[in-house]
Structure 1
């Protein structure tokens, strides 16, 4: 019976039928229930199920786009928790994009960066300063705040500013590697946060510890984007661009250079790979995606301050990369989604549920063991379990496999074509 069922699951159409039933049940449960976190998480998990299905890549991308752009927002809109669902989904998209950027630096190039949140801060402040009256403190021309239409230009400007910051941080750390590289990047991350925290005098650039509030919301076609469900689509478009760019970079000449540097710098340099250029490009490109999402974060929150860009945020993003699988794009996406959902929804809902039981007198919990105080402990214990049972990550990185026989045939064909061209050239010379 078990063998028949497993053989049934291996067929493409049986997988499609079961997947369709799963989607229909979870989306219906989410739409018709007032609030069902389990249904929402199961609907998000359908994307992971889709990844393992026996379908073509193009088909998977089309189905995933349909789920993300249409089904998930529609199914979530059935109850009063619609905006909270969209808030979680938006933050998942933001953290996935940042984790993919860090994956370029850590997973592909092998450069341990513990100050990656600094690029997120650069992007956030680049938009917040000019989208509030803050810029009038030091800009001798122009009228501030800028309109919401400028948000779309600042997505590019924020990415460029973060890339420049990545290069500036990358240049001094090229002489070190390993643990020393981690210490230096950690120091740079803290320096940038402290600079933003104290850059309110003698000229007030960043608002200092008070932060910057009342950031102008984005505007498109005259419509202001102020709700989480609106930012969800903005984040989703940027995230899809990030995934496409990272996948293209991974299988490009530059991506192979990063992997060569990660495995052995001396051997990579001996093969003609420029170490300085390759490492700086890793820092710059990884920082670009983080800077773009920093702009989105600032616009969504409408308020930023240095406490949003602490060292703990850098550690959290690094955990996403390591947990998912360093160098693996699907793994990093899954790791970022798992960590974000655990922090923002699962542990929060668990805390609220236990608190409710305690208030109703069903259970008695000591104050020292209250769920609010134990969230980080539970989160850490879950990470330890993942590390023990999945040491290579949830979806480990896999190198592209080439068929040796096809490579030999193509090599022989190329050699024959080269010989034929040489013969033709010699005949021309003789004539």
Structure 2
């Protein structure tokens, strides 16, 4: 079996044949079996198979774009489950973008943040307040709610406001690290949630615990975006931008500075890396991605309240980063997708299946062990198993390695060249 896999790794023709056959079979399965969650998940699994092929990056991106833009929506669009599939896919995109933002802070810069969902809340409320009549309570000019066309401006505005809050968080925590940093960021997240929960007096800005309802849906070319399949493409475009930005930052000068700070702050400072600016950039850029997705979340749900931004959400996003592999962009994408699909679809479908068996009298499940109550237990058990047997993550971060022998040969060649030139000059 190992020989077969090794032979497959170097045979691109065999890889493309197997991949095309797999994508065709899973797409047709989802097309004809619309209520099959397994077919939907298997089609998404083709993206992971694509990652492990030996194609060029441009080819991988083209095939992935074909799957996500054409095959997935088309295959799932022939039944009643279409919108539910697109809802899951949209939420996967939202959480992947947030996990990539947290990966900059935790995975690259090494700054443990337990209040990351606060930036998500800032983006959501930034759009929610002005897309409802709530803004009329404190804005002396303008008419509210704003039209759905303002949504596209608020994506950038949510990005900027969340980045600003990231800087405000980063300034007081520059002197702490480790456990103390985790405590401070946890407190920041709770403070933001409590402020939104109580900011209904003396001036009603956030409507308090009642939340903001009837948020104006986005609008483009006179078309209102109200269905999950429409938000799917909006989320996909933003996600592609986030992935491109993160990959460019990872291999840039600032990305190397983040990694240096993560490994050893004293050594990084000795090499001339400005710690204050480097850390603030990590907080600001990571928060900006979360703020953008907060705007999308508020527009999609048309309702936001403080209960959507609890500590559990921050921990869930952190779990996505750790499970996928801290510092690894493909790993974080896989970790976020796995956790989101597990919570939204797999465990939910498993619960419904067990409940149906119990109603039909096939099995008898005690009330204390009902699947609805055991979802968190199953999720936690799976995380413990991964932590024990895969502590480095699903797709670990790859460090650049150098062959010492090759480096010595290059040094010898560099030394030999001037010597040859000197001999010619003497001749």
Mapping of 1:7-22 within 5 angstroms?
7-8=7-8, 10-22=10-22
Answer yes or no: is the 8 Å Cα contact 1:83–1:228 preserved in 2. yes
Answer yes or no: is the 8 Å Cα contact 2:325–2:393 preserved in 1. yes
Give TM-score, length-normalised by structure 1.
Answer: 0.94
Of stretches 176-185 and 407-416 in structure 1, the one that deviates more from structure 2 is 407-416
CA drift of 1:34 comes to 3.1
Give TM-score, length-normalised by structure 2.
Answer: 0.95
Q: 1:358 & 1:119 partners in 2: Cα distance?
A: 42
Secondary structure of 2:171's partner? helix
Q: Is 1:262 matched up with 2:234? A: no
List per-residue Cα deviations over 1:294-338 (Å, max 9, x = no partner).
Answer: 000000000000000000000000000000000000000000000
Aligned to 1:374: 374
List per-residue Cα deviations over 1:239-296 (Å, max 9, x = no partner).
Answer: 0000000000000000000000000000000000000000000000000000000000
Secondary structure of 1:319's partner? helix
Aligned to 2:223: 223
Answer yes or no: is the 8 Å Cα contact 2:103–2:326 preserved in 1. yes
Return 5+ residue gaps in structure 2 as ranges: 422-427
Secondary structure of 2:144's partner? coil
Answer yes or no: is the 8 Å Cα contact 1:163–1:284 preserved in 2. yes
Aligned to 1:360: 360
Q: 1:86 & 1:394 partners in 2: Cα distance?
A: 25
Secondary structure of 2:172's partner? helix
Answer yes or no: is the 8 Å Cα contact 1:101–1:285 preserved in 2. yes
Answer yes or no: is the 8 Å Cα contact 1:100–1:332 preserved in 2. yes
CA drift of 1:4 comes to 4.9
Answer yes or no: is the 8 Å Cα contact 2:331–2:396 preserved in 1. yes
Going from structure 1 to structure 2, the CA distance change for 1:168 and 1:3 (only over 3 Å counts) comes to: closer
Aligned to 1:71: 71
List per-residue Cα deviations over 1:215-247 (Å, max 9, x = no partner).
Answer: 000001110000000000000000000000000
Going from structure 1 to structure 2, the CA distance change for 1:112 and 1:4 (only over 3 Å counts) comes to: closer
Going from structure 1 to structure 2, the CA distance change for 1:239 and 1:411 (only over 3 Å counts) comes to: farther
Mapping of 1:264-413 within 5 angstroms?
264-401=264-401, 405=406
Going from structure 1 to structure 2, the CA distance change for 1:261 and 1:411 (only over 3 Å counts) comes to: farther
Aligned to 1:59: 59
CA drift of 1:399 comes to 1.6
Q: 2:15 & 2:70 partners in 1: Cα distance?
A: 22
Answer yes or no: is the 8 Å Cα contact 1:33–1:78 preserved in 2. no
Return 5+ residue gaps in structure 1 as ranges: 421-431
Secondary structure of 1:397's partner? coil
Following TM superposition, where does structure 1 have runs of at least 4 consecutive aligned residues deviating by more than 6 angstroms? 410-417
Instruction: Give the aligned CA root-mean-square deviation in angstroms.
Output: 1.9
List per-residue Cα deviations over 1:151-174 (Å, max 9, x = no partner).
Answer: 000000000000000000110011
Q: 1:59 & 1:266 partners in 2: Cα distance?
A: 42
Going from structure 1 to structure 2, the CA distance change for 1:174 and 1:75 (only over 3 Å counts) comes to: same
Aligned to 1:86: 86
Q: 1:36 & 1:334 partners in 2: Cα distance?
A: 22
Going from structure 1 to structure 2, the CA distance change for 1:8 and 1:124 (only over 3 Å counts) comes to: closer
Secondary structure of 1:110's partner? coil
Aligned to 1:173: 173
Q: 1:275 & 1:187 partners in 2: Cα distance?
A: 23
List per-residue Cα deviations over 1:171-200 (Å, max 9, x = no partner).
Answer: 001110000000000000000000000000
Q: 1:400 & 1:85 partners in 2: Cα distance?
A: 38
CA drift of 1:385 comes to 1.0
Aligned to 1:136: 136
Secondary structure of 2:141's partner? coil
List per-residue Cα deviations over 1:364-388 (Å, max 9, x = no partner).
Answer: 0000000000000000011111111
Q: 1:13 & 1:149 partners in 2: Cα distance?
A: 47
Aligned to 1:423: none
Of stretches 382-391 and 280-289 in structure 1, the one that deviates more from structure 2 is 382-391
Answer yes or no: is the 8 Å Cα contact 1:108–1:259 preserved in 2. yes
CA drift of 1:52 comes to 0.1
Q: 1:179 & 1:270 partners in 2: Cα distance?
A: 24
Q: 1:407 & 1:261 partners in 2: Cα distance?
A: 29
CA drift of 1:7 comes to 2.0
Q: Is 1:124 matched up with 2:115? A: no
Answer yes or no: is the 8 Å Cα contact 1:171–1:280 preserved in 2. yes
Answer yes or no: is the 8 Å Cα contact 2:9–2:53 preserved in 1. no
